[in-house]
A and B are shown apart, each in its own frame.
Chain A
């Protein structure tokens, strides 16, 4: 996903002279060719993540569109006040493109994990959040992000669904209609969710743009007011918004995602999926219990 996005950004630099790629010592090799063609518009600030966001704000200040890229914790958590003050409060925009997701590189440990990212961005006003589940979907989001003026977040992952889904911008897509409840699968959670609910009578919706969340489609496809939202980041991040969509009805909402506990574990991504109950078998059991709660 990262490689495809880097290649596409390189091509976009050729045609859009407002675009500037900002790096902080991460993924620099992937942008080497683009940098050779556009030495002024591929800027590596080194390991200076506060400056990374501040400089991006300055670029936006003169009317350029910065695309800012590094590992999620160093893009969002270390310079969080810069996101709040230099971008949001100033009314300046940027495209923030992260890698690493919740635990894509488990061998690096917790410092490189960022299951908090979407929850943190929820604390800021007006940030668009996109969680593609396939490289084609990630690349397809780039023109819209480049053309926008606000703050947009593109969460890239090493995890990917087997095939891309054709989406209309900003909308959820209903993949299956069922009668016992709804499951919203976000980005790379789609394949595990489809496996998990293959024999369950549920509606399945797919989301890659989660902020703003397409509440209308949740309502329109609702057969039974029980909605589970399965996200590849902190469990419950979108539960409040789903509940907001159903506020006029008695309803049940379940947030499924990454747990808050620091596991102090390395290993592989699938082992972390298992540890957080995000493998198909665990998801099947969690969703089944939610649909038929014991009284």
Chain B
């Protein structure tokens, strides 16, 4: 197995990075270059990621190995600039690694790698993989008797086309995984669209579904804090033309 964090030199020492504010994200995003291809994917998630890391997830650079931490599974790994900016703002990575984004020896690529970046739970890129892994994490935590941690998985509306998601979302229902929250960022990137709504497959499988404005941080926080006792829940974060 590859040793985790070959780039450990770039991991800031605890307390070495001053936690940044939401207003600092633009400056951190400016440090990342060469993300043109994925820029809309990235900006569609910046508010959501900030809310997750600032208000919702119980995960800090100091508790990365805590088995009771919350798990954030970024399935839609493309357009990771906002993710990297938020990780830097929260002290998981040093802002000094942002400018070398996607260089050969950079820990930061156009799809995140869990073996290179502290706090990144899964390596992604190929679409439709994160939800089943998140289901497995939730099942595993239940086996271990850990009731505290929640598992939050972020998908895109285009990614939802992958059939593997539909296996996994039903499985989450059948295994009664109330620790699992899925967020679908709906920025209308599905070529063929979802005529009955991106939430329809989840609602049909008995998930609790709520749709909110993906740039309204207050609404996002409220929706992400709302949970069901018995079923997994879906938060649709609508952005761009999907609003």
Contacts and interface: CB of A to CB of B under 8 A. Distances in A.
B1 A85 contact: no
B168 A51 contact: yes
Contacts of B132: 50-51, 53-55, 57-58, 82, 86
A286 interface: no
B5 to A, nearest CB: 11
B142 A90 contact: no
A45 interface: yes
Contacts of B126: 81, 85
Contacts of A82: 129, 132, 164
Interface string A45-86: 110101101111111111110000000000000000110011
Contacts of A89: 123
Interface stretch (B12-20, B52-60, B114-122, B232-240): B114-122
Interface residues of B, number: 36
A244 B37 CA distance: 43
A41 B171 contact: no
B143 A57 contact: no
A149 interface: yes
B167 interface: yes
B141 interface: yes
A62 B167 contact: no
A222 interface: no
A91 B115 contact: yes
A41 B143 contact: yes
B71, B132, B164 pick with most chain A CB within 10 angstroms:
B132
Interface string B97-130: 0000000000000000011000001110110110
Nearest to B164: A50
A89 B139 CA distance: 21
B136 A54 contact: yes
A102 B44 CA distance: 48
Contacts of B135: 51, 54-55, 58
Contacts of B2: 91
B121 A61 contact: yes
B120 to A, nearest CB: 10
B218 interface: no
Contact of B1 (A41, A54, A61, A150): A150
A198 interface: no
B67 A51 contact: no
B137 interface: yes
A46, A53, A91, A93 pick with most chain B CB within 10 angstroms:
A91
Nearest to A22: B136
A181 to B, nearest CB: 38
Contact of B142 (A40, A56, A57): A40
A43 interface: yes
Contacts of B197: none
Nearest to B151: A58
B171 A55 contact: yes
Given A50-B163, A61-B121, A86 B143 contact: no
B140 interface: yes
A137 B170 CA distance: 38
A61 B140 contact: yes
A240 to B, nearest CB: 25
A20 interface: yes
B147 to A, nearest CB: 13
Interface in A163-203: none
B140 A59 contact: yes
B133 A58 contact: yes
Contacts of B142: 40
Contacts of A53: 132
Interface in B139-164: 139-144, 163-164
B171 A20 contact: no
Contacts of A50: 128, 132, 163-164, 167-168
11 contacts: A48-B171, A54-B133, A61-B71, A62-B137, A63-B67, A82-B129, A82-B132, A90-B122, A90-B133, A149-B1, A150-B1
Interface of B: 1-2, 4, 67, 71, 114-115, 121-123, 125-126, 128-129, 131-144, 163-164, 167-168, 170-171, 174-175
Interface of A: 20, 40-41, 43, 45-46, 48, 50-51, 53-64, 81-82, 85-86, 89-91, 93, 149-150
Instruction: List 6 tightest A-B contacts by C-beta distance, closest first.
Output: A58-B136, A54-B132, A55-B136, A62-B140, A48-B167, A58-B137
